[in-house]
Amino acid sequence: MHARLHYTGVAMRRLPALTVPKRAALCAALAAIGLLAGRSEAAGAARVLVLDLDTIVHPLTREIVAEGLRQAGEAGDEAVVLQMNTPGGLLDPTNEIVQEILASKVPVIAYVTPSGGHAASAGFIILVSADVAAMAPGTNTGAAQPVLAWGGEIKGPMKQKVENDTAASLRAVTDQRGRNSELAVEAVLESKSFTEQDALEANLIDLIAQDVHDLLAQLDGRTVVRFDGTEQTLDLSGAQLYTYAPNLRQRALLPLINPSLALLVLVLGLAGVYIEFTNPGLIFPGVLGGILMIVGLMALSLLPINIAGVALILLALGFFVLEAVTPVNGILAAGGVVAMVMGIVILVDTDVPELQIGWVPAIGITLPFAAISVFLLQLAIRSFRYKVVTGSEAMVGEIGEARTALEPGGTVFVHGELWSARAGSAVPAGQKVRVVSVDGMKLEVEPHESLPERGTAS
- Mean pLDDT highest for which of 6-20, 22-36, 120-134, 399-413? 120-134
Question: pLDDT band at 382, cuts 50/70/90?
Answer: low
Cross-sheet strand order for the sheet of 207-208: 207-208, 132-135, 108-112, 79-84, 47-53, 240-243
Lowest mean pLDDT among 160-164, 211-215, 419-423: 160-164
138-194, pLDDT tens digit by residue? 999 987 755 544 444 455 565 677 778 888 899 999 999 999 999 999 888 888 899
Report whether pLDDT(451) > 60. Answer: no
**Beta carbons of 189 and 161 less than 8 angstroms apart:** no
DSSP conformational letter for 153: -
**Domain range list for the chain:** 2-42, 45-245, 258-385, 394-450
Question: pLDDT band at 280, cuts 50/70/90?
Answer: confident
Question: pLDDT band at 213, cuts 50/70/90?
Answer: very high
> pLDDT above 70 covers what percent of the chain?
79
Report whether pLDDT(137) > 50. Answer: yes
Higher pLDDT, 136 or 55: 136
Cα 433 to chain center, whole Å? Answer: 66
Q: Looking at the whole model, is its pTM more than 0.85?
A: no
Nearest partner of 209 among 107, 114, 77, 82, judged by Cα: 114
Same CATH fold assignment for domains 45-245 and 394-450 = no
CATH of domain 45-245: 3.90.226.10
Structural domain 394-450, CATH architecture:
Beta Barrel (2.40)
**Beta carbons of 263 and 347 less than 8 angstroms apart:** yes
Question: pLDDT band at 383, cuts 50/70/90?
Answer: low
Instruction: Please confirm whether the linkage preceding 428 is cis (ω < 30° from 0).
Output: no
pLDDT at 317: 86
